[in-house]
Amino acid sequence: MVLQVVEKFVSINGEGRRCGQLATFIRFAGCNLNCGYCDTAWANDRKVAFDPMTAEEVYAYIKDTQVTNVTLTGGEPLLQQDIGGLLELLSQDPELYVEIETNGSVLLSRFSGLENPPSFTMDYKLPSSGMERMMALDNFDQLTEKDTVKFVSGSLQDLEKARELIDRYKLTEKTAVFISPIFGEIELETIVDFMKDNQLNGVNMQVQLHKIIWDPNERGV
Ligand SMILES: C[S@@+](CC[C@H](N)C(=O)[O-])C[C@H]1O[C@@H](n2cnc3c(N)ncnc32)[C@H](O)[C@@H]1O
Ligand SMILES: Nc1nc2[nH]cc(C(=O)O)c2c(=O)[nH]1
Ligand code: SF4
Ligand SMILES: [Mg+2]
């Protein structure tokens, strides 16, 4: 079984729990959603060129970088046929810290059998994405303190929905919670003001660091 890899590189992680730390990125082809703001829509093109790699080859590349944080992303990584095999292999290496970015539509319970699961970053797609109807709400019950839920927001309506879900599912009590702007779409101050007005304790606001360091459209960074 192969994995469809569209790019692989080392950079600093620009998002999430290990923001600012070196990480090896593996980006996979294809996605089942079509978010209006997607910054990697090119990876979802049916005709995108990819490297067919086995789980063993991906693991060998990761070890070769000598970087211990790993971020699996895409596209939607959990739709790759052999993603289970890759997660299994990576989980056997105690030196690695593995994060996987997922779009909220794939049932995380499928991966609950893993002995040493990765850290899941589940992105809940808010109204601005146009994809909210695809969200699997059961996923909120699967998240643990190792994981993250992320709300990428572009409007007050998005922020209001994020707040409602944080409250209803008591998200800050079970997992890390991040709110990030759709890049360039919303005043950063608006997010902070919203957090203050709604006493969003325990929530992290985060701006994609790599889009500040490099051109926001640059690939491989
Ligand atoms: C490209 S997605 C790939 C992983 C998975 N498909 C997902 O949506 O989580 C990686 C992350 O980038 C975020 N993202 C995509 N476009 C963005 C944009 N224009 N501004 C801010 N974040 C964005 C997504 O919301 C997601 O959290
Ligand atoms: N530097 C950098 N950090 C990232 N963190 C998550 C990314 C992603 O595209 O999922 C990403 C990315 O594309 N680049
Ligand atoms: S789910 Fe992720 S990769 Fe797919 S369209 Fe949305 S942001 Fe892009
Ligand atoms: Mg990205």
The dihedral built from the CA positions of residue 23, 29, 31 and 37, taken in this order, carries a sign that is positive
pLDDT per residue, tens digit, the chain (221 aa), is: 899 999 999 999 999 999 999 999 999 999 999 999 999 999 999 999 999 999 999 999 999 999 999 999 999 999 999 999 999 999 999 999 999 999 999 999 999 889 899 999 999 999 999 999 999 999 999 999 999 999 999 999 999 999 999 999 999 999 999 999 999 999 999 999 999 999 999 999 999 999 999 999 999 99
On whether the CB atoms of residues 147 and 176 are closer than 8 A, the answer is yes
Farthest CA pair distance, the chain = 50
pTM > 0.90: yes or no: yes
| Residue reference for tokens 């985060």 | 206
% helix / strand / coil in the chain, to the nearest 5?
35, 25, 45
* CATH code, 3-213: 3.20.20.70
Q: Where are the domains of the chain?
A: 3-213
Task: Give buried/exposed letters for 73-82 (b at 16+ CB in 10 A, else e).
Answer: bbbbbbbbeb
* Secondary structure (H, E, C), 51-87: EEECHHHHHHHHHHHCCCEEEEECCCHHHCCCHHHHH
CB 181 within 8 A of CB 191: yes
**Rounded CA separation 110/139 (Å):** 10
Instruction: Identify the CA nearest to 101 among candidates 13, 21, 174.
Output: 13
pLDDT in the model for residue 41: 98
The residue whose C-alpha atom lies closest to atom 3 belonging to ligand 3 is: 75
The minimum-distance atom of ligand 3 relative to the CA of 39 is 8
Q: Which atom of ligand 3 is nearest to the CA of 129?
A: 6
Amino acid (one-letter) located at 197: D
Alpha-carbon distance values, 150 to 133, 163, 180 (Å): 17, 12, 7
* 208 ligand 1 Cβ < 6 A: yes
Q: Is 48 in the pocket of ligand 1 (CB under 6 A)?
A: no
CA of 64 from ligand 2 middle (Å) equals: 20
How is residue 207 written in tokens?
Answer: 């701006």
Q: Is 155 helix (H, G, I), strand (E, B) or coil?
A: coil
Burial of 196 (0-12, 13-18, 19+ CB in 10 A): exposed
